[in-house]
A and B are shown apart, each in its own frame.
Chain A
């Protein structure tokens, strides 16, 4: 196959999945082992659905697929065991750098804060923090871009797509009604 631009050899496309042929990336063995364990748990669970009751039982396809998962993950794991490690790569540098870890934690925090705090405050916090971290510009610029794009996203999705996000501490509906009244009063 032809040489592929490195940036897109990271699993963006199914035509060129990431990883290396004939080499094992840092952490790949742990991931493979987890897959084997996970598949075994699922197989055990699938067996519990209906056992070997009948070929048309609800558990047959789940058992077949999880059995396939166990076999394939085991093959992958055993193959990886024999492969040499990629030289010059480390988990902290190439697989899970600090910035990915921080952003991932921020996403989890977002999920937890969304309900109590509401969409607008949570998103504002997330965007300001993420932009500051990634774009590394001044606070004023960060706040301006973050709040501006949040406003745009909110207008598009609240008004055009009528998506209702948790309001939390912001009285969204009241604000929209007030704006509507303002326009209605102007006519």
Chain B
């Protein structure tokens, strides 16, 4: 009964309902405007809402998250410019559809499928999270440590970039998170004897710099690009189209939830993987992939919205973010004095059910805003980047300043912004940095707890890992990620499954 009440909180309080709606509306447009991403919006918003109560703040962020993941698809279809990272795969088939004059159908299918995927994600979250949190109580400190390492590694290994760069980025994040006085012994770490370093680097400054300023600087390269307008026809898709793609959408939603639930990996990776999956399983598409196949639209859009619900699972149950946006939300919960993890689910189940309720509401709002307001939409999206970029920069500065009212946070933010700009150019992923910063404390604490409980004996520590099934699984997963990137793996694969080139030679 309490559960139901907590779930309904958002529906019964008009203020929260309004905030979720406002958030979703803003999210759709933030996601749609090229150059504004959800991660950027949420990281800037967190600094403005921190003086609010926790419920309204979370309502707004959830709305933006849900709406933003969807919103990117619009510009991907209409302009061939994915408005948000999670819509990159959508452009591959969405834009060719628009060129054929089927932009309306494409948007309609995308909207309904996003709604569908979103629900699957939320349903899995509602069902799985309580179970996972019960299970999480059995986690030893070493398991948390391994999970944190795994999360940082997964981003690097599942993306198309290089794992080594991902590992570097993750380690850098952990180091940034360690700056300041050590909470257990009060020893100074990485302070270089400077007073401003003693209290550490504000993770919000790092986040806004990396996702706000560096992105805005990157957009300066495309400041003169003009948009091509497409004609939009009928939007609400026919029931037959939906039914035809139902089996595929179920599969891709599952991919989305799983990728979302893996620590560290979010909607952008889920969408690309789902697209590849659709390409493999669709034997006879009506049109080839890349030329406007409906399946190529259904797969990424269901997956990225399903990943939203999925990403909340590790966040709520373990305190380990499912992707960059939930990493920022963990930061928001910290600021509001809540500590995400298994104890939160037990002490304050209301918080969890409130989030589920807000997600459901956001999903409905997304459907509503998705099928309406196209006219307004085309006008907003055409906002010139020359106006947008300075405004993003201004908001980033205000956001960085607002949290601690300190000018030095602005310098940190700008510093990380410039640094992130070069990281983007040279192919270093930024997600692991943020994940590292957020997980630094958790990793350090749990490592020390684990090794102290084993009386500082590495042998006993590894004995503990090898005798606990859970730790062993996590440990093997970490090792496998490393091995899969080495030439050793390619050779072993060739030996096991037979390499066609080698067989010819024999």
Interface residues of chain A, those whose CB is within 8 Å of chain B, are 1-5, 7-8, 10-21, 25, 27-28, 31-32, 35, 42, 45-46, 49-50, 54-56, 58-62, 65-66, 68-69, 72-73, 75-76, 79, 95, 97, 99-100, 103-104, 107-108, 110-111, 114-115, 119, 123, 126-127, 130-131, 134-136, 145-146, 149-150, 153, 157, 161-166
Other contacts beyond A69-B172, A130-B393: 19, CB < 8 A: A1-B272, A5-B91, A7-B225, A11-B218, A14-B429, A14-B430, A17-B161, A17-B424, A18-B425, A42-B190, A55-B451, A56-B447, A58-B187, A62-B175, A62-B190, A72-B168, A111-B397, A126-B394, A149-B387
Q: Which of B151-201 contact A (CB under 8 A)?
A: 155, 158-162, 164-165, 167-168, 171-172, 174-175, 178, 182, 184-185, 187-190, 192
Asked if A59 and B189 make an inter-chain contact with CB atoms under 8 angstroms apart, the answer reads yes
State whether the Cβ of B444 lies closer than 8 Å to any Cβ in chain A: yes
A56 contact from B91, B189, B452, Cβ within 8 A: B452
- Whether the Cβ atoms of B423 and A11 lie closer than 8 Å is yes
Q: Are A123 and B418 in contact (CB under 8 A)?
A: no
Residues of B within 8 A of A (CB): 34, 37, 48-49, 51, 80-82, 85-86, 88-89, 91-92, 155, 158-162, 164-165, 167-168, 171-172, 174-175, 178, 182, 184-185, 187-190, 192, 213, 215, 217-218, 220-223, 225, 266, 268-269, 271-272, 275-276, 279, 290, 324, 384-387, 389-391, 393-395, 397-398, 401-402, 405, 407, 410-411, 414, 417-418, 421-432, 443-444, 447-448, 451-452, 456, 458
B131 CB to nearest chain A CB (Å): 28
Sample of 17 A–B contacts (CB below 8 Å): A1-B160, A14-B266, A17-B427, A28-B425, A46-B175, A46-B189, A97-B221, A100-B220, A103-B389, A107-B393, A131-B390, A134-B387, A135-B387, A163-B401, A164-B405, A165-B398, A166-B407
Closest 10 CB pairs of A and B: A19-B427, A11-B424, A13-B85, A135-B386, A134-B386, A17-B161, A130-B390, A14-B431, A58-B182, A72-B168
In the assembly, what is the distance between CA of A153 and CA of B429, in Å? Answer: 31
Nearest-neighbour CB distance to chain B for A114, whole angstroms, equals 6
From the candidates A5, A54, A123, A131, name the one contacting B82 in the complex (CB within 8 A). A5
Most buried by B among A5, A127, A131: A5
Cα distance A4–B23 in the bound complex, in angstroms: 29
Whether the pair A16, B159 counts as a contact (CB closer than 8 A) is yes
User: What are the residues of chain B within 8 A of A12 when measuring CB–CB?
Assistant: 37, 85, 215, 218, 424
Nearest A residue to B441, CB-CB: A61
- Greatest chain A CB density within 10 A among B158, B225, B398, B423 is at B398
Query: Are A45 and B192 closer than 8 Å at their CB atoms?
Result: yes
A66 touches B175 (CB 8 A): yes
Q: Kindly state the separation between the CA atoms of A179 and B388 in the bound complex, as whole angstroms.
A: 30
Given A16-B159, A100-B220, A68-B418 contact (CB < 8 Å): no
Shortest distance from the beta carbon of A44 to any chain B beta carbon, whole Å: 11
Q: Using A134-B223, A153-B394 as known contacts, say yes or no to A72 and B164 having CB atoms under 8 A apart.
A: yes
- Contact yes or no, B398 A163, CB < 8 A: yes
Bound complex: CA of A116 vs CA of B165, how far in Å?
41
**Complex contact B49–A161 (CB within 8 A):** yes
B219 to chain A, nearest CB (A): 9
A62 to B444, CA, bound (A): 9
The interface residues of chain A lying within 8 Å CB-to-CB of B387 are: 131, 134-135, 145, 149
Asked if A115 contacts B220 (CB within 8 A), the reply is: no
| Complex: A21 Cα to B161 Cα, angstroms | 8
- Inter-subunit contact B386/A95 (CB<8 Å): no
Cα–Cα distance between A100 and B456 once the two chains are bound (Å): 51
Q: How far is the CB of B283 from chain A (nearest CB, A)?
A: 18
Contact in complex: B168, A76 (CB < 8 Å): yes
Question: Are the C-beta atoms of A46 and B190 separated by less than 8 Å?
Answer: yes
Cβ-neighbour of B389 out of A1, A123, A130 (below 8 A) = A130
The smallest beta-carbon distance between A78 and chain B, in angstroms, is 11
Indicate if the CB atoms of A65 and B89 lie closer than 8 Å: no
Contact across chains for A76 and B165 when beta carbons are under 8 A apart:
yes
A15 to B156, CA, bound (A): 9
Partner of B48 from the list A19, A59, A157 (CB cut-off 8 Å) is: A157
Q: Is the CB of A17 within 8 A of B272?
A: no
The residue in A20, A27, A119, A161 that gathers the most chain B C-beta atoms within 10 A of its C-beta is A161
